[in-house]
Structure 1
Amino acid sequence: MISKAIAILLYLCVVMYLGYKGWQTTKRPTDYMLAGRQMSPWVMALSYGATFVSTSAIVGFGGAAGLFGFPLLWLTFLTIFVGVFVAMVGFGKRTRRMGLSLNSHTFPELLGRRYGSSFIQSFAGGIIFLFIPIYAAAVLIGISRILEISLGVPYEAALVGMTVLLAIYVISGGLKAVMYTDAFQALIMALMMIILLVGTYAMLGGVTEAHSALAKLAPLMPEKLKLGGMEGWTQGARFGSPLWLVIYTTIVYGVGIGVLAQPQLAVRFMTVPSDRELNRAVLVGGIFIPLMTGVAFTVGALSNAVFMEKFGKISIAMAAGNMDKIIPIYIEKVMPPWFAGLFLLGMFAAAMSTLSSQYHVGGTSLSRDIWENVRGRAGSVLSSRFGVTLTVLAALAWAWILPASVIARATAFFFGLCAAAFLPAYCLGLYWKGMTRAGAVVSMVGGFATSMFWLLFVHLKESQAIGLSKALFGMDSLAAGAAKGSSLWLMQWVDPNVVALPISLVLAFVVSSFTQKMEETHVERCFENIG
């Protein structure tokens, strides 16, 4: 316990020093919101990866892998192809160039200026400010659960302590402080995950032996999961079954595609001075991100075999039904004590890197994209700091009231919502000169409305918990009244993004094809730096 406390203290000293360095050089709004547009490619890539991969990925989705097994590795594939290659190469360069042409400081401001619409900027900023605290709360819950299990800190005290700690350097230092600390934290995370993977396979006798042992546990799959379609941790779920839909529509598709429209990630493309830095960042991101997610999902699944060998129980039984506790318990019960301290540092790093970015983008959305946009005049670093403070408090409030086993679900919800609301307008805005203001507005509003309708009235996990569908229509989901086993009945397990994103995309194309084109001079200005 003492060694863990000393390690954490040293780690926090480094983090605070880096935050101080960021504060020292943060003088203008551009410094606070875009790190002065002069960030190195290595820092940007590590910051991007550390922001993308948080305790929600390691603890939340690692715990989900304890339930669903190796099929979650499809999400790792998408993080490589979509989250790194498509995002950095396909979107990153155009985002940086267009952001420079339009002098954009935030993701909503980029969209608003691309379409010449203050409504689009405020609408996008409003979505981010209102809903990113839910995603941030999921990350905050993850690290607080680890502190609860690893150090015996009361859960509520951990929530408050982490919030105060992060608020100090995010509010004061802006994006420079965030990215400097992200890069340091990413290195700790990488070391921790390599040791975790090697140690897990060693305990089970090697790669082949580990996978074979996990495959043999299929008869022990809990009855509730079997009824949902699960056949085993290596076998996955039956095609078209409720849990197959959860795995591939909510987790794999929702998060894997949603990464393209994450405002806290997209803004990083505008922090480097040239395309050359983005090219260099691809290699770093291409190694770091799959290392993080691949290890978490593999170890999460294999934890069943390790727990069975050592304790005669599978993961979900060890965690008493709360999948958010699977990875923390695995570390404490199975890994050597010295690694538990390293893992705690790694989780601090994962949580703080992502939370700091979430707080920053939520706060700048409120200050820059709503408050300053409505007033029609530029604000100051002080107004941005006030916005960040409100985002921090909102995230703490959500973390206090959200239920157990919510980390992966809250993360997937925010990723999917951003994809439905932003991705068509963002992607087409970067590549299609014929995209119109009306097309962007209808696409964004339509995608957001469809996503929220599906979440409130159709997708069972959320509609049941919220209770609005039950209050208005007498059933937990509007799809629940259909014949059991029918296509309509299965819709209650289909993620909102599967429906909302295609609708948003169709609206963007159709409305843009039949509405007034934007002024040619404005469009040319948007694309002046894009070949």
Structure 2
Amino acid sequence: MAGSPAVGWIDIVVILAYLFVTGYLGWLGYRGTRSAADFLVGGRSAHPIVMAVSYGATFISTAAIVGFGGVAGLFGMSLLWLTVLNIGVGILIAFIFLGEPTRRLGHHLGAHTFPELLGLRYQSRGIQIFAGTLIVLFMPLYSAAVMTGGSVFAATQFGIDFDVALLIFALITAAYVIPGGIKAVMYTDTMQGFVMVFAMLFLLVFTYWTLGGVTEAHRALTDMADLVPGPLAAMGHQGWTAMPAFGWGAQSYDLWWTVITALVLGVGIGVLAQPQLIVRFMTVRSRRELDRAVPIGAVFILLMVGTPFVVGSLSNVWFAQHGPLLEGRVAEVIDAQKGRALVTLMKEDSSGRWQPIISPKTQAPAQAALIISERRAAADADGEAFELVAGRSATVVYTKGDADQIIPSYIAAAMPRWFGVLFFLALLAAAMSTISSQFHTIGTAAGRDLYERIAEKGGRREPSILVMRLAVLVGLVLAVTISYTVRQEYVVARFTAIFFGLCAASFLPAYIGGLFSRRVTRAGALASMVVGMTVSLFWLVFIKAREAGAIGLVQRLTDGKTSLLSAYPNWPSVDPIVVALPAAALTLILVSAVTRPPDEAHLRRCFPERRP
């Protein structure tokens, strides 16, 4: 892989010009923010194109492009099922079935935030405080994932230190979201969305052109199934164009449960309960704007999600054909006719002899499946002659299985230098469009949903913009701290899936029930939210092996096990949403059935267009 060049003066000029435009749009938002309603929902006057592109740009971040694109490079095109759910659920169901009821209910009740919408619908200050607390505590985790994705790319492409890149992202975002509110967020989202569209189109076309066209590229990727690394094959990886092996009760099915439950379902369904997206529905005046936004949002999501998933998978073909050579001794012949072999990787020492490369994870000699292209005689550390082979392999070999490095490594090695700058701007756009909305949501949750509801004495008071802006700053500090301290395998995708799944289990039943059912009660909604959150957190801390192992509590309780169910195959790979969301929905139904129905006068206020 080519080394990362330093930032040149042209790079600096282009980036500064982009930041100047971003700053100008942020200033326009600040100039138009004169009240709390302006800061919270933009005066409910957003244009449908602005709302649709802002929704999409908020939805799609570096978590999708770098994080999930990298996971596609690791696991393959099975991740395209997430694209299907992103469009089918995140756009069609969200806009057509949930958007208008959300907009209408928000207008009837005068709600400005998602927790406030729930609190007013159920006439519960406690529900609003609970939802606001959940957002303030856990959204910084998602924000950290987004900032990490952009910072990893900057470090790879420009040779910038990761910590410096992270600080730059944080300062730029704070500069326009704190003063400008949601108007600044939506203006900049729209501009950034168009930058992202151009970059994704070029990336997709260039990748297929480099690999000889669509048919040839996919044929080559299918033909690489025997290059799947051993650890992935043991989990059920059957090639980058095939679904993982499906079944139950053996380790060889773990990958299917990871891909489908944690990544596809967790994020694909969790998008419906994202507070920073739901509030977009309350920024337009009528259903007409929502309907006009559907095709724009669908095409945008298709490009933003489909492109990195396809390119991430196809990067394996590029590295196998054009990547740097790896050298070593043949350990096992995979296919003699195709020149493929499992090779023990080696490096030459100062005396000209070759020694095995030791894997830092296993402390054993590192091995990789290579397409052999060169052979020559060499001597090992004991002076014994052997045949040294050289060849290329899949992306995952060069990035040592670090999914977050796959897209940055591919861009740096395969794409023209000028595109590296453009793609950096696209990632900067993706990161800032999402981060700004996240921090805006954190600020409004802390300021309006926590501070005001806890501090109010009697009547409701005008929201404090100052408190909300200070809360944005606190959320920013928390997210940066998490990004600095947590650096694990595909951390970007994992943090995103955790937050999306937690929101789905905690909010979705109460949210949908509040929109469509007159019988859902305050007690049912609150119980559902508590059960969804509790089951999700329990599963993450004690059952889901990767998260529980990283947290470490279960290891101290069970003498080193990474899951309470480690003796039961597949359970430690199942995402919390599979258990927590049904439990929350069932709780909503049962508790609502045995508690007093909501006040009829209040229901008429919520749904004046409906008759009992």
**Cα distance in 1, alignment partners of residues 288 and 81 from structure 2:** 30
2:342 counterpart of 1:335: no
Q: Distance in 1 between matches of 2:435 and 2:111?
A: 23
Give 1:529 shift.
4.9
Maintained 8 Å contact 1:97/1:530 = no
Counterpart Cα distance in 1 of 2:153 and 2:271: 25
1:204 to 2:218 alignment: no
Q: Which residue of 1 aligns with 2:562?
A: 476
Instruction: Show the counterpart of 1:189.
Output: 196
Aligned pairs (5 A) from 1:488-507: 489-507=569-587
- Residue in structure 1 matched with residue 384 of structure 2 by the alignment: none
Asked whether the equivalents of residues 97 and 529 of structure 1 are also in contact (C-alpha less than 8 Å), the reply is no
Aligned CA distance change for structure 1 residues 530 and 5 (closer, same or farther; 3 Å): farther
Alpha carbons 2:61, 2:433 under 8 Å: kept: yes
Residue 293 of structure 1: aligned partner: 305
Partner of 1:485: none
1:434 to 498, 515, 519: 519
Instruction: Give yes or no for the alignment of 1:274 onto 2:286.
Output: yes
State the SS of the aligned residue for 1:127. Answer: helix
Alignment partner, residue 32 of structure 2: 25
Q: Which moved more, 1:339-348 or 1:134-143?
A: 339-348
Residues 373-388 of structure 1: matches in 2 within 5 Å?
A: 373-376=453-456, 377-388=461-472
Q: Determine if contact 2:514/2:520 at 8 Å carries over to the other structure.
A: yes
Residue pairs, 1:358-369, within 5 angstroms? 358-369=438-449
SS in 2 for 1:387: helix
Match of 2:494 in 1: 409
* Bigger fraction of residues in strand: 2
- Give TM-score, length-normalised by structure 1: 0.98
Paired AA for residue 410 in structure 1:
F
- Uncovered stretches (5+) of structure 1, i.e. residues with no partner: 483-488
Compute the displacement of 1:19 (Å). 0.0
Percent of aligned pairs with the same amino acid: 49
Q: How do 1:14-413 residues align onto structure 2 when only pairs under 5 Å count?
A: 14-240=21-247, 241-311=253-323, 312-376=392-456, 377-404=461-488, 405-413=490-498
Contact in 1 for aligned 2:604/2:610 (Cα 8 Å): no
User: Which of 458-467 and 319-328 deviates more?
Assistant: 319-328
Output the amino acid matched with 1:393. V
For 1:528 and 1:349, the matched residues in 2 are separated by 41
How much has 1:356 moved relative to structure 2? Answer: 0.4
TM-score (normalizing by structure 2)? 0.85
Number of the residue aligned with 2:360: none
For residues 147 and 235 of structure 1, what CA distance do their matches in structure 2 show? 32
Q: Distance in 1 between matches of 2:277 and 2:607?
A: 22
Q: Which consecutive unaligned segments of at least 5 residues does structure 2 have? A: 1-7, 248-252, 324-391
CA distance in 2, matches of 1:3, 1:231: 44
CA separation of 1:264/1:252 partners in 2, compared to 1, >3 Å: closer, same or farther?
Answer: same
Summarize deviations over 1:232-280 as a string: whole Å, max 9, x none: 0011210030000000000001000000000000000000111111111
1:470, distance to aligned residue in structure 2 (A): 1.3
Give the superposed CA RMSD: 1.0
1:336 Cα deviation after fit: 1.1
Larger RCO of the pair (alpha carbons < 8 Å, separation 6+): 1
Q: What is the deviation of 1:455?
A: 0.4
Counterpart of 2:534 in structure 1 is: 449
1:464 counterpart = 2:549:
yes
Q: In structure 2, what is the Cα distance between the partners aligned to 1:49 and 1:163?
A: 21
Task: Name the SS of the counterpart of 1:272 in structure 2.
Answer: coil
Shift of 1:447: 0.5
Structure 1 residues 143, 530: closer, same or farther in 2, change over 3 A? farther
**How far apart, CA to CA, are the structure 2 residues paired with 1:3 and 1:217?**
39
State the alpha-carbon separation in 2 of the partners of residues 403 and 243 from structure 1: 22
- State the AA in 2 paired with 1:154: D
Cα distance change of structure 1 residues 364 and 530 upon mapping to structure 2, 3 Å threshold = farther
Instruction: Find the aligned partners of 1:169 and 1:277 in 2 and give their Cα distance.
Output: 26
For 1:383, what is the secondary structure of its paired residue?
Answer: helix
SS of the residue aligned with 1:479? coil
Distance 1:186 1:460 in 2: 36
1:145-177 deviations in Å (ceiling 9; x for gaps): 111111111111111111111101110000000
Larger radius of gyration: 2
